[in-house]
Structure 1
């Protein structure tokens, strides 16, 4: 593998990299800041690995070629991934409706068709058609990923020693790499025909409805009336996650609006949020429209509560900590100054 790295500095020095984009409601592409996630900083998705189609195909070959050590990783003779217990049964951690022949572990989903193959893709919420109902069964290993203007679909088909690697430098109202991969698999295995273009168009409407249902609607109805805004100076300062000194939230006054403040995460320019008062000791950085949500790269935020910062006070009234819901978990940051 020649151009795969988890080192941010190596990535930055590479002059041939794809810029990330968000696709808005009207189809317009808007460039997003390049994400800073990597192996030596907090919250590095998948270890912060950046790669290429060529390198991932080499890795796929190593996994599926007998005689190479990596082949044992996905031995097709086993009923589940090597080293993975029944704790990785998909019904427990991914999809409660998944059949018992599906499991997940060590970065791959293992399935036997007929199956709905997009178990980790964002499209899974809106489209779960089963492929291969009227065909011979095939084993499929897969993984999907998306982050701030980029998405990927990765499939291994060991019986034919085939691999599908799709990398895309854009995110919109559904995951395009997933649609393309499904169509390729359907063609390879001669599965029943599915109108992928129509399904993708249907997803656009469903994604818009999802934003109103899960983000915009609950945010508007959750605000409590007649709450009082405290002094912004109460909240200004540095907050750290206990045990992770490098995970820092810094709150400062807004330069142009005395009723707002700014949140900066780990001193990253692309992690700067403008906060408005929501109610009581709760502040918010929710967005006015779905387009703004996409432009900001908030595609991984799936609940309105993730846009709320709740502060807690000591008995003397001073701020002692805050709570921020991250990926469904309330995370507490302690005030340091």
Structure 2
């Protein structure tokens, strides 16, 4: 059976498709599994042994549709469910099963500040789209395959080579990130050396945090590549991170994770750490939270209590235990 799984974006959403692809490949007899995504997210499925072919969305949707037609798939599994995937399904005429997004319930949950959506994790929501094939959850974590062999002695100072806590300080939107003063306060209370990870956009933040504490904190933001950052996360004693891709990728390695949530909430998105043995999900119960599904550039009310009032003790104790 030749199957095409579709999810175009974003990093976190695509990461959580990996158990579906794995279960399809291992449980459907003679399955040939292909995956279609945007070129920007190709790295998520690089080296994945459960994908027989990776297709990349082309600038012209017609070109993508022609490629799909040429492959002669038996089944499409649509885990994105948007206008483009609807057009693909209509114009190819291939049998399809589609993930149900519950957009109205998500909108009502956001407006009413009450979780009305399915309490299942996003992985389990995705798996419902392949249940008709006899596929069941194998209860294993997400998959991510590091692309190269990395030498930790070339990536970290000597002070961090025998163990560290990784703190992922980056996130796409401001309301997902903790203010620097709060990160500094937490880092000062941690027993392990701290490795700061994130992109170029938070390099200055990392510099400020490291300068405030000293050599026990090493700022790798904007220095390490994504693959190197994933490698370093996989080797960490524990991870502290926000609602962002690298924190979600860390789940593939079953390291203890303190998942810290500001203006967004895990229940609404269904993306708390999946099949990780040691987890802390940290967040402040506020009447204004969640303020958005995916994060905002500033706090709508100006006080940013969801991060400013975040209790530090639970995060510190989780990392120090």
Pair in the same fold by TM > 0.5: no
Q: Which structure's CA Rg is the greater one? A: 1
More strand by percentage: 1
The bucket for the TM-score relative to the shorter chain is under 0.3
Length-normalised TM-score, structure 1: 0.25
Greater relative contact order (Cα 8 A, min sep 6): structure 1 or 2? 2
More helix by percentage: 2
